[in-house]
Amino acid sequence: MDRRMFLRCLGCGAAVATASQTELVPEFLGGLQNACAFDFTKELSSVQARYYKKLEGGGIECTLCPRHCIVTDLERGYCGVRENRDDVYHTLVYGLPCALNIDPIEKKPLFHFYPGTTALSVATAGCNVNCKCCQNWEISQSRPEQTDNLDLSPKALVDICTHRNVPTIAYTYSEPVIFYEYMYDTAELGHKKAVKSVMITGGYIEQKPLADLMLQLDAIKVDLKAIREDYYRNFVGGKLKPVLDRLVQIKKAGMWLEIVYLVIPTLNDTEAEFKELAQWIKTNLGTDTPLHFSRFHPQYLLKNLPATPKKTLETAHAISRAEGLEFVYLGNVAGHPAESTYCPACGQVLIERRGYRIYQNNLKGNHCSKCGREIPGLF
Amino acid sequence: MSKVVVVRYSGNGTKKGLSRPAYGVLLTAGMRALSGEKEAKAAVRKYLPSGVIGIKTNCLVRTLNSTPTALAEALSDLLTQAGFDENDIVIWERTNRELKNAGYTLNAASFGGRCLGTDTNGVGYGSRFYSSGEVNSLVSRILTDMVDYNVNLPVLKDHSIAGLSAGMKNMYGAIHNPNKYHDNNCDPFCAHVNNLAPIKKKNRLIILDAVKVQYNGGPGYVSEYVTYYDGVLLSDDPVAVDRIGLEILEHLRKANSLPPLEKVGRQVKYLRSAQQIGLGVADMQQIDVAVLLVDKNGRQTVGELF
């Protein structure tokens, strides 16, 4: 499908957009096959990966994420979307998104990044961890052969944004680290067309690729899944330490950063953990780093647990504020006062939110309109 | 005791793999020996009583060292001789691309001997998660919905992570997320993949192709580490047949001056784990190994494992 055809398809989705404000196409394109004339491709890409090294005696070592998968000929890494072919490592998902949608930036959530704007959300199949609570497991835990993929080059994505006046591309839903090359090239091209890029990630990436990538990004949201190593081992399939290291790296690089912590009953919801989390952020990232506590809903492999009680979220909020964090939010509790942004100095409501909608914006540039206090972020 | 029959072909002087008739001779002799039945039909029916029969191949390495089409066809012949309708035989793999590249002719129609990948339109993976240990996977609908019983038809080879790729490892091709289960030499994941309910229930027979063996450098193809063992292994115990396959693999490595898998960080630990969860027998003392030497006319003599 060429770009013109794709944009025509987006046009046919515009009726949906009118009805639901922002949604142009379903997040997972599989449901769209009978509704719109999208062409899907069964072909996988064969673009050389940028972070790996060849091993003596054959095979490669992937150096993109902390897993450092050793991959021999015709095998794939843990992510399922990178394959060794004659000791050349390839990404199989370059230009092959399986999810595409225009979302409010608040949905990411990024609350201090051009509030009220939209982002073209893009994802491919695959992930480098396996969170038992994953809400997008149908794509994140699949291989690219198992998803319905569009053939959309970086240029096509940027063109969608410029034609639809979407200011930002969000690499999201699954784990953008695993489609690094596609994300990097799209972000680089986007900047040339004044389209911004944000990465919504678990932060499980090595130092060097992240440093290189940040040159092309405008903001990063990291899902910090817990503050305990054993949680990462048992429920994520990864390690906590590299994620903490990357958070510090992001902050030191001056990249805009927000953190989400999904609160799961019985697994990471003790007051001690909330306190430990807040103290770590305060010490290592600063009190001005926004922290979002998000409500868990049972799904994927954790259907046996209940949704997070609102009271638990409020406890997490109170502890974090008491520890000195200035911007603490609650997510997936539409209508809660803690969805809004308040001035840490005078308490004025700066941005009033309900769900993903903004009802008031009392910022003057980057400052509180009442007391003049500077508010961190990109507004 | 579990039984494993090893049938070796005595006439393969050309070192080019075996023909369909030659495989047919091996399979007939092997099924008789495994089942104790005199007739091939009764031998087959002992393990595959009725219904639709799946044949799970391993087509990772194109035509270089995948499950030979000649073997799958010979098995189909044996099944039809045993009274199965060819419409009730399904040769399958995870993707059509792999089948095609290995020389198979796809047929996803509802008639004729079928041959298809799980990625065929309208097939895919089921919506139910099956769990065992740390393994949580969706299973190919070919296995869960289309077939009543399955014959696992893998290739014996070295594996760069697991150490051994044989029958149990081949079932990674039946789940949607195999890439998640390679840590720690695939242990205990490989055992638990085979303990997933549909796999454990429907896998009735394992026929391990060991005619051409990649004894090092697998699971890809490295020509300098290929040799010919000229045999197939048959069993209804998925652990025991792999255990004997491992013995052969280690023997071939030693014969070619390579160290044991354990010495190169690829100890095959998942067999022991499989025994511990009751999937079969990994202990050599509890495996009855019968080795037959068969010529192209089907004449049998007692053979040796090495």
Question: B27 vs chain A: nearest CA distance in angstroms?
Answer: 30
CA angle B200, A147, A218 (to 5 degrees): 125
Nearest-10 Cα torsion for A331, A332, A338, A341: 60
List, in order, residues 6 or more apart from A19 with CB less than 8 Å away: none
Residues of B in contact with A77 (CB under 8 A): 179
Residues of B in contact with A78 (CB under 8 A): 179-180, 182-183
Q: Rounded to an integer, what is the distance from CA B141 to the centroid of its chain?
A: 19
Question: B225 vs chain A: nearest CA distance in angstroms?
Answer: 13
Q: In this complex, which of A146, A237, A301 lies closest to B125 when CB atoms are compared? A: A146
Beta pairing, strands B287-294 & B226-235? unpaired
Measure the N-to-C terminal CA separation of chain B; round to a whole number of Å: 22
pLDDT at residue A9 tops 60: no
Q: Do B61 and A70 touch (CB under 8 A)?
A: no
CA distances (Å), A216 to each of A180, A199, A253, A255, B228, in order?
A: 12, 10, 12, 10, 53
Residues of B in contact with A79 (CB under 8 A): 179
Q: What is the pLDDT of residue B17?
A: 87
pLDDT at residue A26 tops 50: no
Helix (H, G, I), strand (E, B) or coil at B137: strand
Which residue of chain B comes nearest to A81, CA vs CA?
Answer: B179
Q: In this complex, which of A73, A78, A80 lies closest to B220 when CB atoms are compared? A: A73
Quick one: DSSP state of residue B197?
H
pLDDT average, residue stretch B199-211: 98
Q: Are B270 and B185 in contact (CB under 8 A)?
A: yes
Q: Assign B14 a pLDDT band (cuts: 50, 70, 90).
A: low
Beta pairing, strands A60-62 & A341-342? unpaired
Question: A96 vs chain B: nearest CA distance in angstroms?
Answer: 17
Question: A268 vs chain B: nearest CA distance in angstroms?
Answer: 20
Quick one: DSSP state of residue A204?
-
Q: In this complex, which of B124, B160, B180 lies closest to A130 when CB atoms are compared? A: B180
A68: nearest Cα among A58, A81, A53, A57: A53
Hey, of A28, A67, A130, which one would you mutate to test binding to chain B, going by the most B CBs within 10 A of its CB? A130
pLDDT at residue A3 tops 90: no
Which residue of chain B comes nearest to A146, CA vs CA?
Answer: B119
Average pLDDT, chain B: 96
Q: Do A145 and B182 touch (CB under 8 A)?
A: no
Q: Assign A143 a pLDDT band (cuts: 50, 70, 90).
A: very high
B229-241 pLDDT, tens digit each: 999 999 999 999 9
Q: Do B219 and A130 touch (CB under 8 A)?
A: no
Q: Assign B111 a pLDDT band (cuts: 50, 70, 90).
A: confident
Q: What is d(CA B72, CA B68) in angstroms, rounded to the nearest whole number?
A: 7
B31-90 pLDDT, tens digit each: 999 999 999 999 999 999 999 999 999 999 999 999 999 999 999 999 999 999 999 999
pLDDT over 90 for what percent of chain B? 95
Q: Do A74 and B119 touch (CB under 8 A)?
A: no
Q: Do A74 and B180 touch (CB under 8 A)?
A: no
pLDDT average, residue stretch A138-156: 94
A290-327 pLDDT, tens digit each: 999 999 999 999 999 999 999 999 999 999 999 999 99
Measure the N-to-C terminal CA separation of chain A; round to a whole number of Å: 36
A152-201 pLDDT, tens digit each: 999 999 999 999 999 999 999 999 999 999 999 999 999 999 999 999 99
pLDDT average, residue stretch A250-263: 98
Q: Do B61 and A80 touch (CB under 8 A)?
A: no
Which residue of chain B comes nearest to A59, CA vs CA?
Answer: B160
Lowest mean pLDDT among A106-110, B16-20, B155-159, B214-218: B16-20
Q: Assign B13 a pLDDT band (cuts: 50, 70, 90).
A: low
Q: Do B177 and A59 touch (CB under 8 A)?
A: no
Residues of B in contact with A237 (CB under 8 A): 180
Q: Show which residues on chain B lie within 8 Å of chain A, measured between beta carbons.
A: 60-61, 94-95, 119, 124-125, 129, 136, 160-161, 176-177, 179-180, 182-183, 217-222
pLDDT at residue B114 tops 80: yes
Residues of A in contact with B183 (CB under 8 A): 78
Q: Do A70 and B220 touch (CB under 8 A)?
A: no
Residues of A in contact with B60 (CB under 8 A): 74
Which residue of chain A comes nearest to B140, CA vs CA?
Answer: A146
pTM, to two decimals: 0.90
Q: Are B41 and B83 in contact (CB under 8 A)?
A: yes
Residues of B in contact with A145 (CB under 8 A): 94-95, 119
Q: Are A326 and A320 in contact (CB under 8 A)?
A: no
Q: Do A145 and B221 touch (CB under 8 A)?
A: no
Q: Do B161 and A59 touch (CB under 8 A)?
A: no
Q: What is the pLDDT of residue A4?
A: 39
Tell whether omega for the bond before B219 is within 30 degrees of 0, i.e. cis: yes
A13-25 pLDDT, tens digit each: 322 222 232 333 4
Q: Do B177 and A75 touch (CB under 8 A)?
A: no
Range B140-146, long-range pairs (CB < 8 A, 24+ positions): B140/B92, B140/B94, B140/B174, B140/B175, B140/B176, B142/B54, B142/B90, B142/B92, B142/B116, B142/B118, B143/B54, B143/B56, B143/B92, B143/B174, B143/B198, B143/B199, B143/B202, B144/B198, B146/B52, B146/B54, B146/B90
Residues of B in contact with A175 (CB under 8 A): none
A202-238 pLDDT, tens digit each: 999 999 999 999 999 999 999 999 999 999 999 999 9
Question: A167 vs chain B: nearest CA distance in angstroms?
Answer: 35
